[in-house]
Amino acid sequence: MTEMIIKTENLHKTYATGKVTTAALRGVSLEIPRGSFSCIIGPSGHGKSTLMHLIGGLDRPTVGRVLVDGTDISLLSSSRLAELRAGKIGFVFQFFNLLQNLTAEENVETAMMFSGIPEKAQPVRARELLSLVGLAEKFRAKPSELSGGQQQRVAIARALANDPEILLMDEPTGNLDSAAEGEVLEILFQLHRQGKTVVIVTHNNEIARQAGGVIEIRDGRVVAA
């Protein structure tokens, strides 16, 4: 067990779109302790989402390495990487990313496909998770029948489907009013107290104040740790 559950070494990411290249990350080295509640802050367009995608293995760096629990994920094949991601990492995004034609319960179940949870047990587990985020009454609701805060709580339940050790959240409260934001934050703090490592990109100063570590990103670099 490594003390640092996530490590990045000299991460660079350059996007090429036609003739335009964008250096989104320019040498990011950081460490995130196991069980911490870490916050990533910085202006829009400065590389925060890119960093989250690389940490979570959703995209690969142009240069540099990402170590998750001591494993250099750049050395993994796509299928091994998908396996590691499914087992260890839960993602929550700003725009919920729920499947609109599925119920809350079915949305959570979609994340159990590679989990090894027997198919018969999946609805029970999905309902447990939805209860955990305060949606016991909404198993059968479609996303369009839920508020923004409720949809984000479904997304959190989905991220928890495989009981991942790491939760990566990219502006999870960016589209919520302050009441819904408070509810979502309470769930995140609770998950942290239960031992999850939480990494959250946010513009909310209150979260940053309560976080164990704050990493500031500017122009694709870490400016304060």
Binding site for ligand ADP (CB under 6 A): 15, 17, 22, 24, 42, 44-50
**Which residues within the stretch 32-71 sit at the binding site for Mg ion (CB under 5 A)?**
48-49
CB of 120 to ligand ADP, least distance (A): 39
Distance CA 63, CA 58 (A): 15
- Enumerate the H helices of 65-203 as residue ranges: 78-88, 104-110, 122-132, 148-159, 178-193
Q: Tokens at residue 133, please?
A: 């985020």
Nearer to ligand ADP, 17 or 144 (CB): 17
Which residue has the closest beta carbon to Mg ion? 49
* Burial tier of 174 (Cβ tally within 10 Å: 0-12, 13-18, 19+): middle
Q: Which helix (H) or strand (E) holds 48?
A: helix 48-55
Residue 78 contact, options ligand ADP, Mg ion, none, Cβ 5-8 Å cut-off depending on partner type: none
Distance CA 77, CA 153 (A): 32
Residue 79 contact, options ligand ADP, Mg ion, none, Cβ 5-8 Å cut-off depending on partner type: none
Residue 114 contact, options ligand ADP, Mg ion, none, Cβ 5-8 Å cut-off depending on partner type: none
Q: 């949606």: which residue's tokens? A: 135
Q: Could you say whether residue 162 binds Mg ion (CB under 5 A)?
A: no
CB of 170 to ligand ADP, least distance (A): 7
